[in-house]
A and B are shown apart, each in its own frame.
Chain A
């Protein structure tokens, strides 16, 4: 039960972070195009723009701040791993917990200060100190959001590490991780919410409240959840089998077509 909840939470966080991280690069070509357009406007059109400077800086902020959590998920952030790689996995988890607490400490401050800045700039209408001077409140909101999703990513990692420390086994097996990595984030977020067992929990709860008087048998809950999972997996397996069948039949068709073609060529 608890394990399922933890897994569901970790998956939900992981996919949300992945979704944001995958969406951010879309801004890159726009950023490059804008800055290049500025040069074009200055030399070819003869009128430098006033809005490119601020817009490109905002885009830069969005790209670099929002991508931080996904980079953490990908383990791309730089760390010094001379000692880290020499110690056993158990000790490594302790290290992780300590460093995560340190990092989250700063991120919480960052989120708090950014949110204060956000409400301030909304209230007083702060603007950038440039010619165009657009409002800045959305930038601070974005900083708050990036700090929060960074914290969320760390919280999921914290759970995985602490789980390992208590049980001496990983929360997610390697196969599960590989399977998760292949899923599309948007659908997976919904599914992970579903799999936290919330929906099952609720239906179960209502059923129980209807048939009051029966023993509050919470062991029952695990069974329900297990059954539900089996159903989901079964569905998946059926789908997969169906897909494979379709592909096979398509392949067969193509093959026969090819053979027919060859046959007709020979005939000619």
Chain B
């Protein structure tokens, strides 16, 4: 059978299965095996054991449970609140300071949790109430939570980046480093947007002084500073050990878990029940991620076996357009995919197909990976169907309509889109740091 026809059939099947609300990982695998059996017969089923081996005997993917576990312990033992309070001490006098802390802290938390949905949920549980209590504009509050929570996958350690690295055989460390500068630019731009909009419209963000809220004193003050500082230190230690080459990304995840437990014990926040809940939640998230990876890998292995790569490559070179147009085309496809499916699947489905083409066109795979992640950040929160919007709707207070949410996220999406374009035009922004540190 022609690969073009086969791909069309597969895509139609996927669309139907997804519309029916199928569990994505198993549906992908089921479709691949079903269609594959009709084309190739049962010899194809040998793809399954080799894919299982490739998925579960993978030291890079082993980082996923460790990072998620670390994030769960940290957020459940109240370290997120500590960071939030500490950052308020530093910038509490600036108008819109809460919103700024939310961007900073929530992107950190999002990074620790590693998954957009969980990032937004955790961020909102920490930050939404304080902002609304102090009379912040609801749209601004929701917008920064969305921006912070979804930025999480751009800031290392990030699960989708680990998946990208595993799917395309690139170094996780390089990937993490490459994302740093784009992440920094995004955060700076978002914070400046918050500052400017609050200056222009002071009613959006009342100052603490206007609300009679006191800065903590004495032991409380000491505790806030200590908690905030040590959690910051833990993140630096985890990232630092990767960058300095002391530990592999997987090992630094384990260091992070041990560090998080030690912090929780030191701050007298350690409870067996917290560990139980963190463990249970982690194991559920990990099995969700791994069954999707397994299913999507079965699908893409089958698809690659059928020769989809040469089809895409042939199509891309046959178009006879400048390489950058091909890259832009990929970006548009991923943006559209982001409307219906979540970040894991986009990475797992697109990375093995698109990356070799980008490399063949003379681009750096790491650069392409960072673009992909940036793109996903935007895609999942783009109205009308970006799936992160529905998480936000789920946590929003009563009386917030979908339209309010669309309006609240729009300025932040524009900022992130700007960053995507900047990174696309200036690849050096992405590649400079990893080349400098790990060359």
Contact = CB atoms under 8 A, between A and B. Distances in A.
A22 B277 CA distance: 10
Interface string A77-108: 11111111000000010011011001101110
- Shortest Cβ-Cβ A-B pairs, 7 listed: A67-B287, A84-B21, A25-B279, A64-B290, A35-B254, A99-B22, A103-B26
A71 interface: yes
Given A35-B253, A64-B65, A77-B25, A114 B49 contact: yes
B160 to A, nearest CB: 13
Residue among A24, A63, A64, A117 with the highest chain B CB neighbour number at 10 A? A64
Contacts of B255: 36, 39
Nearest to A142: B56
B181 interface: no
B273 to A, nearest CB: 13
Contacts of B279: 25-26, 28-29
A125 interface: no
Tell me what chain B mostly uses at the interface: helix, strand, loop, or mixed: helix
A71 B291 contact: yes
B270 interface: no
Interface of B: 17-27, 29-31, 33-34, 45-46, 48-49, 52, 56-59, 61-62, 65-66, 69, 246-247, 250-251, 253-255, 257-258, 275-276, 279-280, 282-292, 295, 298, 340-342, 344-345, 385, 387
Interface stretch (A52-60, A183-191, A232-240): A52-60
Given A25-B276, A80-B24, A102-B27, A71 B287 contact: yes
B48 A113 contact: yes
A72 B26 CA distance: 11
Contact of B286 (A38, A63, A103, A113): A63
Given A95-B20, A106-B295, A113 B287 contact: no
A77 B24 CA distance: 8
Contacts of B26: 102-103, 106-107
Contacts of A113: 45-46, 48-49
A106 B69 contact: no
Contact of B27 (A32, A96, A103): A103
Contacts of A36: 251, 254-255, 257-258
A106 B20 CA distance: 17
30 contacts: A21-B280, A21-B284, A25-B279, A25-B280, A26-B279, A28-B65, A28-B283, A32-B66, A33-B254, A35-B251, A38-B251, A57-B56, A61-B57, A63-B283, A64-B65, A68-B291, A70-B287, A79-B23, A79-B24, A83-B21, A95-B21, A98-B22, A99-B17, A99-B22, A102-B22, A105-B30, A106-B26, A106-B29, A106-B295, A106-B298
Tell me what chain A mostly uses at the interface: helix, strand, loop, or mixed: helix
A56 to B, nearest CB: 6
Contacts, number: 186
Nearest to B286: A64
Contacts of B30: 102-103, 105-106
Contacts of A13: none
A105 B385 contact: no
A15 to B, nearest CB: 16
A31 B279 CA distance: 12
Given A67-B286, A103-B22, A114 B33 contact: no
B290 to A, nearest CB: 3
B65 A63 contact: yes
Interface string A1-32: 00000000000000000000110111011011
A170 interface: no
Given A36-B251, A60-B56, A65 B290 contact: yes
Contacts of B57: 57, 61, 128
Contacts of A212: none
A264 interface: no
A122 B283 CA distance: 29
A56 B387 CA distance: 34
B48 A109 contact: yes
Contacts of A25: 276, 279-280, 282-283
Contacts of B59: 53, 57
Contact of A77 (B31, B66, B288): B288
A238 to B, nearest CB: 31
A121 to B, nearest CB: 10
A210 interface: no
Contact of A109 (B25, B45, B283, B342): B45
B388 to A, nearest CB: 13
B45 A70 contact: no
Nearest to A87: B21
Contacts of B23: 72, 77-79, 99, 103
A220 interface: no
Nearest to A102: B30
A20 B22 CA distance: 24
Contacts of A99: 17, 20-23, 27
B107 to A, nearest CB: 22
A41 to B, nearest CB: 11
A32 B254 contact: yes
Contact of B292 (A78, A81, A110): A78
Residue among A31, A77, A106 with the highest chain B CB neighbour number at 10 A? A106
Nearest to B70: A32
B49 A117 contact: yes
B245 to A, nearest CB: 12
B258 A33 contact: yes
Given A60-B65, A107-B26, 17 more contacts: A28-B69, A28-B279, A32-B66, A35-B66, A35-B251, A36-B254, A36-B257, A36-B258, A60-B61, A64-B56, A68-B287, A77-B291, A95-B20, A102-B27, A109-B33, A109-B48, A110-B52
A179 to B, nearest CB: 21
B21 A79 contact: yes
A89 to B, nearest CB: 13
A71 B257 contact: no
A99 to B, nearest CB: 4
B24 A78 contact: yes
B288 A39 contact: no
Contact of A143 (B52, B62, B283): B52
A74 interface: yes
B287 A98 contact: no
